[in-house]
Amino acid sequence: MKNEPLVKKIIKQLMKKYIVIIVLISSFQSVMAQQHFTLSGYIRDAKNGEDLIGATITVKELPGKGAAANTYGFYSLTLPAGTYQITVTFVGYVPQKQTVELNKSVKIDFILGESVNEVGEVVVTATRKDENIRGTQMGEQKLDTREIKNIPVFFGERDILKTIQLLPGIKPVGEGSSGFTVRGGASDQNLVLLDEATVYNASHLMGFFSVFNSDAIKEVTVYKGNESAEYGGRLSSVVDVKMNEGNDKKIGVSGGIGLISSRLTVEGPIVKNKGSFIVSARRTYADVITQGLYNLHVIKDTMVNKAKLYFYDFNVKANYKINDKNRIFLSGYFGQDKLGFGNTFGINWGNATGTLRLNHLFSDRMFSNTSLIFSNFDYNINAGNSMSIISRIQDYGLKQDYQFYSNDVSTINFGFSSIYHRIIPGIITLNGDNTKTLDNKNGLENALYISHKYTFSDRFNTEYGVRLCSFTLLGPGTFYSYDADGTIIDSSSYKKMQSVKTYINIEPRASLNYKLNEVSSLKASYARNTQNLHLLSNSTSINPRDLWIPSSNNVKPEIADQVAVGYFRNFDDNKFEFSSEVYYKNMQNQIGYKNGAVLNNNNNVESQILFGKGRAYGLELFVKKKYGKFNGWISYTLSRTEGKFVGVNNDNYFPFKQDRTHDISIVGIYDLNTKWTVSGTWVYYTGNAVTFPAGKYMVDGQTRYYITAPNSNRMPPYHRLDLGATYIRKKTDKFESSWTFSIYNAYMHDNAYSINFQTDPKDPTKTQAVQTTLFKMVPSVTYNFKF
C-alpha cells in the first residue's frame, strides 16, 4: 500500500473544511445589527492576580443574557447599545456591581476580592447561584482546590483525583487509589489533562497518591462523556486539571510538613501585575521512616530495610502579559517514582509534561489560544545485572482554539489539534549486552472541531458541535496481521512516516437545556467519543508496566455513544442544588484479553487481545449544600457495565470488573468557629465484579480452582468513614499556619483489598478464603504554613 499521499489528502481535506468554517463565521459577523457593542476584559483575583475561570457576568436589564470567563479569565459580551447594571460573581468572592454605559465597545477588567464570613473562613458559593439550572452542560463536575481543602485526607495529602471519586458516576478502582472509572468505562478511557498536556499515568506509588500536588492546582473539571467538541480522544471522561498561575502581586511561600510527605511552593511576580511564576515541589519519605524504624530495631525485616520507595514531583508555571492583546504561559510538570530492593530489583517511572501557550485577542470578540504541548511517560526496570527494560510514550502536539463571541446569544468555539504519538514499548537488555527492542509505534492524531452555544430564549438554550478526528498509524516498521488464533498470517514493511492505517471518525455532540421555571430545568445530551490509544492492563491493580498501544490494522478505534437526560432543581434560594441524570452508553471495539494473554515483552501483543462490545447505564443523584457554616453533598449512583466478547462466557454479556451496582458518598464540612473546621466523609459501594472458584480439583498433588462464569461474584461491600479537622493556629496577612488532622477508616472496617483461596493450614482436607485488608485505620497529621 502506498499511503503517504493519503495523509496529505486528509490534511488538505481538513484544511478545506476549516476554511469553510471561518467563512461561515465571518458571515455571522456581517449579519449582526449595527447598534451592538462589546463589553470585554478579564476577571481576576484581587489578592494574587489569578484568573477566575468561569466567573460570570450578568446583566440586570437583560435577565438570561450573560457571559462566563474562559480558561484564561477572558470574557466578552455583546449587547445592544444602552446602559446596563453589570454584576460579576465568582465562587467564594464578593460580587461586584458596576453600571456600564455601552455606546461604544469597552474593555473592563474586574478584580474580585475573596469574601470572608464571620468565622474568618472563605465562603464557598456557586459560580453563579443557579448556574446548574441555566447551563446546558450535563455530566460535568467542577471542583476548586479551595473547595476541597477541608475534606479529610489520606496520608496527609489532599488529592483532587480522590475527591472527584466522591462525586456521582466517578468511582475509585480500589482501596486508597487515585485511579478511577467513569460511568462504567475502563480506567484508560479517562483523558487526564494537566494544562492541556495528557498525563498518561496519573498515579504515584501504585495509585495511593495522584500526580497532582494540590498546592499547584487551581481547579479540576470532570466531563463524564458529554464534553463539548473541544475535547476528544477518550471514551468515558475528560479530567481537565488547571494549574495556578502564581501570585503577580508579591512573593509568597507556602508548604506543608506531613508524616510521610512534605510540600513547598514559591510564587511571585516576574514583573508586578504583568507576569508571575509558581514553583511547587513535593516528596514522600516513607523509606526514610522505615529506615529509621529499622535503625531503632522496631522493624526487623531486612527486606524492608533494603526497600527503596518514594516519589517526588515538581510543578512549574510562568505567565507574562506581553501587551493588551498577547499573553504567554509556560507550564511544566515532572515527577518520578522510585521503587526497589537493594541492588536486585528496581523500577522507576514518571511523567513529564510541558505546555507553551499564547493567548491572542484578534478583537474584543475573538479570543485565540495556541498551545505547543509535550508529554512523556516512561518506566525503567532493573533486575540486578541480568535484565533491564526501558519503555516510553511521548506526545508532541499543537492545539489551536478560537472563541468567537458572536453576539449576546451565540458563541462559537472552533479549532484544531494535531498530536504526534511515539510509543517505545520496550528496550530489553539481557545480561548486559544482548539488547532486544520491541517494535516502536508512531501515530498522528488530528482533530478539527466546531461547537456553537446558542440561546434560543430565556428558557431554551443549546450547545452543539462536531469533532472530526483522524488517526494514522505511521511507519517505520513491520506490521503484522493475525488470524483468530493469533498466528501471523501477513506482514508488510513500511518506511518512515508512511501511513499504515488511517481511521476517520465524526463525533457529533449536542446538549439542550429547557428551563422549566426559575428553579428547575430539564437537560438532554448526546455525544460520540472515539479513542485511538488503548491501555492493555490485565491485572486488577494499577501497574506502571501497563502498555499503551495505538489503533492499527488489527486494533480498531474504540467508539462510544452516550445519551443522557437530567432533571436539575435548586431549593431554598439556591442553597441546595439537586441533580439527577440517567445515561446509557454503547461501546464498540472494546478490548479484552485472550486466556493467558502475554502483554509484556511481546512484539505480537495485538495477537493476544480480543475485541468486543460494551454497554453501561445508570442513574446518578446528587444533592449539594453549597454555602453556610455547614456544607457538603450526598451522591448516589446506581449503575451497570457489561461487555460481550466472542469466546468468553459463552458469548454472553458479563460484568466488567469495574461494575458496581450501588455507590454512595456523603461529604460534610462544618465550620465550628474561627479556629476549627471539622469534616467527615462516608463511602459505601458494592464490591467489584470478580471471579471466585466454583469448584476445585487436584492436579499433580496441588489443589486447583475451577471457575465458571467470569466476574459473576462480588467482593464484599466496601464502606469507610474518614474524619478530618483543621485547626488554624494563626492567620494574619503576613503569616498563616494550620494543622490538619485526618483519620482514614475511622471505625476500622475490614475492607477487602483482595481475597485468596488456599488450603486450610490447620486442616489440609479443607480449603478456605482469606481476605486481605490494607488499611485498618490510618491517622495522619500535617502542618501547613503560608507567608
Comparing CB distances to other proteins, the nearer of 150 and 608 is 608
Grid cell, residue 455, equals: 440561546
Burial label, 706 (beta-carbon count in 10 A; 0-12, 13-18, 19+): exposed
Helix (H) or strand (E) holding 108: none
Comparing CB distances to other proteins, the nearer of 283 and 306 is 306
Least distance in angstroms from the C-beta of 705 to other proteins: 6
Are the beta carbons of 538 and 599 closer than 8 angstroms? Answer: yes
- Round to whole Å and give the CA distance between 684 and 699: 40
Q: How many CA atoms lie within 13 A of 443 on its CB side?
A: 27
Least distance in angstroms from the C-beta of 86 to other proteins: 53
Comparing CB distances to other proteins, the nearer of 30 and 595 is 595
Longest dimension (CA), the chain: 91
Are the beta carbons of 197 and 354 closer than 8 angstroms? Answer: yes
Comparing CB distances to other proteins, the nearer of 92 and 710 is 710
DSSP letter assigned to residue 293: H
Least distance in angstroms from the C-beta of 771 to other proteins: 5
Comparing CB distances to other proteins, the nearer of 252 and 687 is 687
- Round to whole Å and give the CA distance between 136 and 188: 27
Least distance in angstroms from the C-beta of 155 to other proteins: 7
The single residue listed with the C-alpha cell 484544531 is 416
Closest by Cα among 445, 478, 410, 576 to 76: 410
Comparing CB distances to other proteins, the nearer of 33 and 699 is 699
Are the beta carbons of 216 and 242 closer than 8 angstroms? Answer: no
Comparing CB distances to other proteins, the nearer of 208 and 494 is 208
3-state secondary structure at position 15: helix
Comparing CB distances to other proteins, the nearer of 580 and 712 is 712
Least distance in angstroms from the C-beta of 598 to other proteins: 8
Least distance in angstroms from the C-beta of 287 to other proteins: 7
- Cβ count within 10 A of residue 240: 21
Comparing CB distances to other proteins, the nearer of 69 and 260 is 260
410: CB partners within 8 A, 6+ apart: 28, 452, 453, 454, 455
Comparing CB distances to other proteins, the nearer of 573 and 700 is 700
Least distance in angstroms from the C-beta of 162 to other proteins: 16
Are the beta carbons of 199 and 212 closer than 8 angstroms? Answer: no
Amino acid identity of residue 27, one-letter, is: S
Report in angstroms the alpha-carbon separations of 388 from 206, 343, 384, 403, 439: 20, 13, 8, 48, 17
Is cis: bond before 476, omega within 30 of 0? yes
Least distance in angstroms from the C-beta of 267 to other proteins: 30
Are the beta carbons of 51 and 43 closer than 8 angstroms? Answer: yes
Comparing CB distances to other proteins, the nearer of 244 and 780 is 780
Least distance in angstroms from the C-beta of 347 to other proteins: 8
Least distance in angstroms from the C-beta of 707 to other proteins: 6
Amino acid identity of residue 190, one-letter, is: N
Least distance in angstroms from the C-beta of 618 to other proteins: 21
3-state secondary structure at position 458: coil
Are the beta carbons of 787 and 730 closer than 8 angstroms? Answer: no
Q: How many CA atoms lie within 13 A of 449 on its CB side?
A: 31
Least distance in angstroms from the C-beta of 181 to other proteins: 12
Q: β-strands 558-571, 609-625: how paired?
A: unpaired
- Round to whole Å and give the CA distance between 245 and 151: 24
Comparing CB distances to other proteins, the nearer of 456 and 697 is 697
